[in-house]
Amino acid sequence: EVQLVESGGGLVKPGGSLRLSCAASGFTFSNAWMSWVRQAPGKGLEWVGRIKSKTDGGTTDYAAPVKGRFTISRDDSKNTLYLQMNSLKTEDTAVYYCTTLIVATIRRFFDYWGQGTLVTVSS
């Protein structure tokens, strides 16, 4: 059974930093493309960024609102995905979901989702 368990959320002041983790199990993590998706309170879903598997280059890509502030990384030896968030803004307040990402030419979707971790940016 695929499991994605996020941790690391909490309350942080504007301008601060936070690192989220996502522990994966039930599939071959090293072969998977992974992504982060967030949801502000009462709002819709927003893609944050993704990281390819190391076999596919291990490169990252980010949504415009977080580019230059957020960094996605992975430790395949620990089956863990990370999201380093710097220079946090109040508008970054959201539940952050870790997901697997399937990419095959025209077919690109989020297969499995974690339960999410809440990040609150407030003074």
Please give the structure tokens belonging to residue 116. Answer: 């999410």
CA neighbor of 71 nearest in space, from 43, 40, 50, 92: 50
The correct pick among 14, 45, 58, 122 for binding another protein (CB under 8 A) is 45
CA neighbor of 17 nearest in space, from 72, 75, 83, 74: 83
Q: Taking CB under 8 A as the rule, does residue 61 contact another protein? A: yes
Q: Please check whether residue 3 is in contact with residue 78, taking contact to mean a CB–CB distance below 8 angstroms.
A: no
DSSP H or E run through 91? none
Q: Taking CB under 8 A as the rule, does residue 5 contact another protein? A: no
CB of 77 to another protein, least distance (A): 26
User: Which residue, 39 or 120, has its beta carbon nearer to another protein?
Assistant: 39
The correct pick among 5, 102, 118, 120 for binding another protein (CB under 8 A) is 102
Summarize as ranges the residues that interact with another protein (CB under 8 A): 35, 37, 44-47, 50, 61, 63-64, 97, 102, 106-116
